[in-house]
Amino acid sequence: TLGLTAFMFGLSSLNSHFLAPFSALAGAVFLVFFVLYELKQDNPILNMRIFRDNSRFAFANLAAMINYSAIFASTFILSLYLQLICGLTAQAAGLILLAQPVCMALFSPLAGRISDRKDPGILSAFGMGLGGISLGIFIFLTPRFSAAAIVGVLMLLGIGVAFFSSPNSNAIMGSVTRAFYGVASSSLGTARLVGQAFSMAIVTLLTGFFVGNIPLAAAPPHQLMHIFRTAFIIFTVLSLFGVWSAIVSTRPGDRPAAELQE
């Protein structure tokens, strides 16, 4: 926790605090030390051997972290865009943004059922691919983008997240034996939270770089658009890595989880 907090603080504050680089470096060192320490323990807090010896499990978790890194802050960015660039009220912006979670809720059960019959890693890659296409479209966001176009892209993004999340959870839980269900569940939760924190850290870093300490409501529109476009470029690239990670998680040849010591 200390290492992760220090790393995220340093990353998000690189442009605004002189201690930020040292904090990020110290956090990274703490995290590496934690992993090495846990690998040597007979009764570790977090069994890191399962990541080392089970590539399906490791890459499925990596895909989860990348997915939330790419997706989570997009809602925040679009909320700012709709209110500060398009001049919509918070209520109107919220109604537009509902398109994504509604599609997620509608398609998640279907994605879960399909993942019970098909390789969940492939479905996860498909969902991440849809998400990447959606984020890539938002790179070309302009003040003249219609509300209908934004809703359509958000619906595609919601479908992508639905076809990623349920199969990805299935892939992670299905890659271990019952004895490791607790570790698998906690690792998925951690990957999700780390991804969300990293996503917001990216936006915070870009905001400091492009507008400094100016309140966002007072920032020139062209500077805000630089933040939004750069963020979506980064998120799109992350999605490509997520697709790769999800595909790699499908490869066979892992050491059976039953052989790992708890």
Domain identity same for 8 and 114: no
Domain identity same for 230 and 154: yes
Distance between CA atoms of residues 262 and 254, nearest Å: 17
Rg for the chain (alpha carbons), in Å? 20
Domain identity same for 123 and 66: yes
Q: How many domains does the chain have?
A: 2
Domain identity same for 182 and 211: yes
Residue 144 pLDDT level (bands cut at 50, 70, 90): confident
Domain identity same for 114 and 196: yes
Q: Residue 88 CB: number of other CB atoms within 10 A? A: 17
Domain identity same for 182 and 129: yes
251, 76 Cβ separation under 8 angstroms: no
Residue 32 pLDDT level (bands cut at 50, 70, 90): confident
Determine the length of the chain.
262
What is residue 224's predicted lDDT score, i.e. its pLDDT? 92
CATH number of the domain within which 201 lies = 1.20.1250.20
Q: What is the value of pTM for the model shown?
A: 0.85
Distance between CA atoms of residues 211 and 251, nearest Å: 44
Identify which of 207, 194, 195 has the alpha carbon closest to the alpha carbon of residue 238.
195
43, 215 Cβ separation under 8 angstroms: no
Residue 126 pLDDT level (bands cut at 50, 70, 90): very high
What is residue 249's predicted lDDT score, i.e. its pLDDT? 83
Domain of 14 in residue numbering reads as 1-42
What percent of the chain clears pLDDT 90, i.e. is strictly above it? 46
Domain identity same for 186 and 222: yes
Q: Which residue would you say has higher pLDDT here, 139 or 27?
A: 139
Q: What is the average pLDDT across 39-59?
A: 77
pLDDT at 131 over 70: yes
- Does any domain span residue 261? no
Domain identity same for 120 and 31: no
Mean of all residue pLDDT scores within the chain: 85
Query: Quick one: CA dihedral 141, 146, 147, 150, positive or negative?
Result: negative
Domain identity same for 1 and 58: no
Q: Which residue would you say has higher pLDDT here, 100 or 251?
A: 100
Domain identity same for 235 and 110: yes
Name the least confident of 28-37, 87-96, 253-262. 253-262
pLDDT in tens, 72-94: 999 999 999 999 999 999 999 99
Q: Which residues contact 221 (CB under 8 A, 6 or more apart)?
A: 84, 85, 143
Identify which of 12, 53, 6, 40 has the alpha carbon closest to the alpha carbon of residue 25.
6
Distance between CA atoms of residues 253 and 19, nearest Å: 44
